[in-house]
Structures are given as structure tokens and as C-alpha cells.
Chain A
Amino acid sequence: MNLRHRIARTALIPALLLSSVPAAAENVLLTLTGAVTDGRVELTRADFDAMDWHEFATSTSVTDHQPEFRGVLMRDILAHAGAEGSQVRAAALNDYVVDIPIEDFYQFDVLAALYMDGVPLTPRDKGPVWIVYPRDDHGVLADIRYDMRWVWQLVALHVQ
């Protein structure tokens, strides 16, 4: 219910973004490997824009307030890449690597956020992509075992 509302609200955003940051659309933001279509799928900004966008506010373990995050659902990205597997190995710019069960993405609305508080995430902050769990909607997510899966500066997903 809540999610549908968000979709409606964010429906216009991709179109607006396309016109405002056309240069960024060319760069590959996220690379999926492993059990995906043809073994490798590269997602550009344009690919992200073609998907449904969602947004929600949640507390995080590294900020004081509850930033508003905006992006696409992780499960949509996996569906887009035709991923078949039980977990993904997420890798960040700083070589941080963690395994995440794919089940998480279906159990919760886990976001691949590109915006925080309306500001685009960049590699100088926690961009280009930050995996964000709806921490405030599910008590179980306020736990170190889930905090470890909030990968920022995400650049690659290996599906296995």
C-alpha cells in the first residue's frame, strides 16, 4: 500500500532526471556477473531510469537523522538482469565485499538508492549506489547482521 503510493509519487522523477543529468547516463553504475543473462549485465543510469523508482525515509547506523532515500528495488535490478541464485556477493569501490541472501530483497523492500535527501550519491559520499534496508519498518533489521549488508559505493554484484 505504502509502496504503491511511493511509486505514484516518484513516477515523474526518471523523466526529470533524464533531462537534467544527461551526461551521467552514459557511465556504467553497476555491473552484475555470475548467474545473470549472458553472465554479465551492465547497468547505466538510463537502465535505472527505465525501472520503477521508490523512496522511503529510514534511520541508518551512520547518520543521526532519517534521510529520504530514492532509487530502485534490488529485486527489480535482479529481475532486470535475469538473475537466478540464492545470494549475491556485493562489492564496493573500497573493495568491501559482503554476501547477501537474495531472500532479503523479496522479504523486504531493499533499495538500491541513488539519492539521499534529494541529493545524488557520488563516490565522494556513499555513491554511486547504496544498498538501503527499510530499517524502521522491521524491528529485525536493526541488527549488526543486517547493518553489514548496507553496502555503499556499490559497483558490482556477483549472483551465485
Chain B
Amino acid sequence: MTTRQEWIRYLGLGGLVLVCLGLLGLAAWQLVQLERQMRIGASENMIWVFGQAQIEALNLALALSDEAPPQKIQTRFDVLLSRLTLLEEGPQRRFLEDAGISETLAGWRSGLLALDPVQGADPAALRSHVTALVAALRGKASLVMSHEWQIQAERLDRLGHLHRLALVSVLGAALAGLGLAAILIDRERRLMRGRLDRLRAEKLAGDLERERETSENHRRFADLIAHQLRTPLAVIDSAMHRLTRRGGPVSPELVSEKAAVSREAVARLVKLTDTALMMSRLERDGVLPHLGAHDLRDLAASVIDDLMMSAQGRDPARIRQPAQIAPMVALCDPALTSEILSNLLHNALLYSPLNCRVDVEVSQSQTHIVCRVEDRGRGMSPEEIACAFDRFHRGSGHETLPGSGLGLTLARHLARMQGGDVNLTQRVGGGLTAALYLPRETSA
């Protein structure tokens, strides 16, 4: 979407919000007006006020013709006067002016005052004045009535008009609100779609990255295996070449020496193949540990025995395992655990000088059985230890030594499969300590 379109969209949205709020405000204002105009004022009661003046005029006329006592005549006179006074006051006078009868009523009050009985005025003159007033009022009563209803009808018209306006405003606001809701829902839908697209793209990118990593691993693995295969094969080839060389007779000692070299090379090949197979199976999660209670001392001893046969080149006889009486029973898979120990011991033999001993010690903590393999080699820096477990990592300076770069990775993986772990620490006094932790068999 271009910026221009977005701007139009925002303007439209803002416009709708303004229209909606504006119409609601208008409706509220109209309702307030309506409420104000719905009050009834006493000044609107002119039919009553005018009727009262008429009645009082009649009352006085009646009192005068009945020749009532002066006190009563005086009271009726006063009350009539008060009614005429009222008609001349603000709101009432304006009403009569609007109705066009103000002028015809003017002068009646002053005329009456001039005939005040208190002042000893002529009763006959008063009577004729009041009779004329009664006739004048009667002539205007219907005008007052029609004017009053005219005003009321107009007021109702205004109220109705306001009411309709308020209604239209509310409907308009509702329409604008609907438009607003539609736009917002549409926007929300777009956002959601965008978010889903992004998640899908991220997942695809992740998959691709993983695939690339796997492929890279496979390539390096293939390279490595090829390289590692090449060395023992070259050794065997060289031995065979020496034995079959034309020339002098081959002594039995030479045959025996070359056979030993060849066997060692074959053993290394077998070992390498085993490791590769194991890794391959692990990658497919094809290995499940068969856990059982096993004494780690016995496992270590049998692994050392095996090494005596297979790793003569590294002098396995320098491995020292102190005699221990207490059993160290762990919950583990004996085959996998032997593989780990073999790995660790092999490393210790490989990376330490031939004249330095390697210690194997089994101990126990609250929760774990620990087997420590300590060598007195060059050791490793913390940085080296940090990446020692990475797949295909080879220790610095050891690139030429035989090894797959998978040993420690495999060892740790197998240990974790059994609920344990493998880690490396620097040995006090030089060298490296590799420790295998396995859970203790608690039921024993």
C-alpha cells in the first residue's frame, strides 16, 4: 500500500470519528434544548390569569348591583385592581401585546383608580365603568385563548423539530459508527493476515536454516570420515607393501610387527565405523537406553580391560583405578555407559604424554554417581572447554591426531539420555578432568 493511500485511509478514519462525535454532540445539545423547553412556566397560564380578571370584574359588578356592604365592595375593588395590575406587569403585558389586545385594555386600571370608593367616588359611575370593563374583557377572552394555544402549538412544533433533529443526529452517528467499525475490523483482519504471513515466513526461514546446518554437518562428517578412513588404510597399505616387497626374506618378527600395526589400524577403522553408526542412529532417535542398576566401578574396570587390548599404542597400563570397597550403583544403560567411559579414557590416553598416568576415580554425591577421569596432559583453556562439546570440534593442535570430533558430543548426548551429564574441568596441577555423572540407583 502506498503512503498516499494510507494517508487517505487515515483521513477517512479521522473524518468518520469526527462525524460520529460531532453528531453525538449535536444530539446531546438538542436533547438539552428539548429538556429546557419542556418546562411549563406559570406565565404561560394566561387563560387562567385573564379569566380571573374577568371573574373579579363580574364579582365587583355583582357587589355593586347588590349594594353590598362597603367593606365587601372595597375588597372586590382591590382584588380587581390587583388583577388589572397583574395584566400590566412584564410577562403578562408582553403576551397581551403579542395578542394585539394590550392597547384596548390600557386605561381601564387608571379609570378604575379614579373611581376608588375609598375616595368617595360615585358608585353609579363605578358601576357603569365596571360593566363596560366586563364587556371589554369578554370580547378579548377568546383572543387570549387562541393566542395561548397558538403559542403552545408553536412550542410543541419546536419540540417536535428538536426531537426529529436529535433522532437524525443519532442515526447519522450510528451510521458513521458502523463505517468506523467496518474499517477497524477490515484493518484488524489485514493485520492478522500480515502477522500470519510473517510467522509462516519465519518458520520457513528456520526450517531452511536447520536444513542447511544438517547438510553442512553431513558434508563435514563425510569429509572427516573419508579422511579418518584414509589414515588407517594407508597404514595397512604401507604394512602390506613392506611385507610383499621384492628382495630379502621377510623375518617372522617383521610379519608380527606389521600384523600388529595393521590390526590396530583395523581396530581404529571398526571404532570409527561404530561411532559413525551410533551417531547416525542417534540422529534418528533410534537409541533408547535400557536402564538398570550397575556398579560404575565394574563398568570402568571392564572398559579399562578392553582398552588394554585395543589401545596398546597409547600404553593403557598407565590407567590407575584405586581399589574401592563401597559399591557405586548407578541407574544406567551398561552399553551406553561403557561407550562414554571408553570415550573419556581414550581421550585421556590420547591427549597426555605416554609417561604420565591417568586416574579413574568413582565417587558419589547426594544424587549422582560420579566417575572422574584425570590426565596430566596439556589441559584445555576455559574457551576450549566451552566449545569442546560442539559437534566436529577438534581440539587445537590435535587436528593431526586420529579422531572424529564426535567423541565428546556423543558422550554427553548418551549421558543426558540416561539423566546424567558429562563435563570438563581443568585439573589442579595441570591436565584435564572429565567427569561423568549418572543418577544414583536409590532403591538399592
Which positions in A face B, CB cutoff 8 Å?
61-65, 93-94, 122-126, 142-144, 147-148, 150, 152-153
Which of A63, A65, A124, A125 is packed against the most chain B CB atoms within 10 Å? A124
Contact for A61 among B55, B85, B91, CB less than 8 A: B91
Contact for B42 among A65, A122, A124, A144, CB less than 8 A: A144
Q: Shortest 4 CB-CB distances between A and B: which pairs?
A: A64-B90, A147-B42, A61-B42, A123-B78
| Chain B residues closer than 8 Å to A61, beta-carbon distance | 41-43, 91
| Chain B residues closer than 8 Å to A122, beta-carbon distance | 78
Contact B40 A144 (CB under 8 A): yes
What is the total number of residues of chain B having a CB less than 8 Å from a CB of chain A?
A: 21
| Chain B residues closer than 8 Å to A144, beta-carbon distance | 39-42, 45
How long is the Cα–Cα vector from A61 to B90 in the complex, in angstroms?
10
B375 at the interface (CB under 8 A from A): no
The minimal Cβ–Cβ distance linking A54 to chain B, given in whole angstroms, is 23
Contact A126 B43 (CB under 8 A): no
How long is the Cα–Cα vector from A6 to B42 in the complex, in angstroms?
28
How long is the Cα–Cα vector from A148 to B43 in the complex, in angstroms?
11
Which positions in B face A, CB cutoff 8 Å?
39-43, 45, 52, 55-56, 75, 78-79, 81-83, 85-86, 89-92
Contact B82 A123 (CB under 8 A): yes
| Chain B residues closer than 8 Å to A63, beta-carbon distance | 89-91
How long is the Cα–Cα vector from A125 to B269 in the complex, in angstroms?
133
Contact A125 B42 (CB under 8 A): no
| Chain A residues closer than 8 Å to B79, beta-carbon distance | 93-94, 123, 153
Nearest residue (CB) in B for A92 is B79
How long is the Cα–Cα vector from A123 to B85 in the complex, in angstroms?
11
The minimal Cβ–Cβ distance linking B116 to chain A, given in whole angstroms, is 9
How long is the Cα–Cα vector from A126 to B49 in the complex, in angstroms?
14
Contact A147 B78 (CB under 8 A): no
In addition to A62-B91, A94-B82, A124-B85, 9 A-B residue pairs with Cβ atoms within 8 Å of each other are A64-B89, A64-B90, A65-B90, A93-B79, A94-B79, A123-B82, A125-B82, A126-B82, A144-B45
| Chain B residues closer than 8 Å to A62, beta-carbon distance | 42-43, 86, 89-92
